[in-house]
């Protein structure tokens, strides 16, 4: 659960609030998170009665924040800290510098100065999925599957109100909803990708390669829902 890191981060950054969503787990996850909540005032935990999948867990977390708090920026990250939380400071700085930006996507790009630890097979798998995503959205998005994104509050409100149809490709739905609402020009002018400095593939990741066919099927469903006229 990386509780020691979370506790240190929360205590060192009192202006940052973390909401943890327990997606219907039956182990001691909720108890551990509640212990963290007692130690840090800027943390809270909500628990879903049944496992809903990552997309719905994220959506419920965003909706909870929108209902109970008044933050300027709302984002989400994987609980396993594949993307360090410090990356969100870079995202926030970009949005404060450029008021046209309403959404920042973290992007895993292996290049000089970046430390991206990812197996070659998983990288290839990801690039195949990314190609399919690009065909559906028809925009030059390099990596919308990186689990680190930041939104302006009003943008999050628009994009998370409706339930997602895909458990795994909800990121694609987020971008599809934005493009359908605002068009291609606004999409390219108000969304930006930032290459994260560090990303580490976790060995206990639940994503399996046989999900490839399910993802392809979901891409067809997303295309039909958002872009078929």
Look at residue 1 in the predicted model and tell me its pLDDT.
56
All CATH 3.90.550.10 domain ranges of the chain, comma separated, are 72-226
Look at residue 206 in the predicted model and tell me its pLDDT.
53
Look at residue 120 in the predicted model and tell me its pLDDT.
81
- 180 is written with which tokens? 């359908």
In DSSP notation, 36-82 reads HHHH-TTEEEEEESS---HHHHHHHHHHHHHHH---SEEEEE-TT-S
Look at residue 209 in the predicted model and tell me its pLDDT.
58
Rounded to a whole number, what is the distance in angstroms from the first to the last CA of the chain? 44
Q: Quick one: how many helices (H) and strands (E) in the chain?
A: 8, 8
Look at residue 110 in the predicted model and tell me its pLDDT.
87
Residues in the chain: 229
Strands annotated E in the chain: 18-23, 43-48, 73-77, 103-107, 115-117, 148-152, 191-195, 198-200
Look at residue 117 in the predicted model and tell me its pLDDT.
87
The torsion angles phi and psi of 220, rounded to 5 degrees, stand at -65, -40
Q: How far apart are CA 29 and CA 20, in angstroms?
A: 10
pLDDT per residue rounded down to tens, the chain (229 residues): 588 999 999 999 999 999 999 998 888 888 999 999 999 999 999 999 999 999 999 999 999 999 999 999 999 999 889 999 999 999 999 999 999 999 999 999 988 989 988 888 778 888 888 899 999 999 999 999 999 999 999 999 999 999 999 988 999 999 999 999 999 999 999 999 999 999 988 755 555 656 778 888 999 999 999 998 6
CATH class of 72-226: alpha beta
Look at residue 41 in the predicted model and tell me its pLDDT.
92
Cβ pair 10, 16 in contact under 8 A = yes
Residues 6+ apart with CB under 8 A from 143: 105, 106, 107, 108, 109, 126, 130, 193
């Amino acid at each position: 659960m990386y509780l020691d890191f979370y506790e240190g981060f929360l205590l060192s950054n009192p202006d940052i609030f973390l909401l943890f969503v327990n997606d219907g787990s039956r182990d001691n996850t909720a108890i551990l998170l509640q212990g963290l909540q007692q130690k840090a005032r800027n943390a809270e935990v909500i628990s879903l009665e049944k496992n809903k999948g990552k997309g719905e867990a994220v959506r419920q977390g965003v909706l909870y924040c929108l209902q109970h708090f008044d933050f300027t920026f709302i984002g989400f990250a994987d609980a396993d800290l594949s993307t360090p939380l410090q990356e969100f400071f870079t995202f926030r700085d970009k949005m404060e510098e450029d008021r046209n930006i309403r959404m920042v996507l973290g992007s895993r790009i292996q290049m000089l100065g970046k430390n991206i630890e990812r197996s070659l097979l998983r990288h290839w798998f990801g690039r195949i999925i990314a190609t399919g995503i690009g065909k559906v959205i028809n925009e030059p998005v390099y990596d919308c599957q990186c689990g680190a994104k930041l939104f302006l509050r009003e943008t999050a409100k628009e994009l998370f109100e409706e339930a997602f149809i895909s458990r795994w490709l909800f990121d694609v739905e987020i971008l599809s909803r934005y493009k359908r609402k605002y068009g291609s020009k606004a999409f390219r002018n108000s969304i930006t990708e930032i290459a994260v400095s560090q990303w580490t593939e976790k060995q206990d990741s639940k994503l399996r390669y046989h999900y490839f066919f399910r993802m392809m099927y979901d891409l067809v469903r997303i295309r039909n829902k958002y872009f078929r006229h």
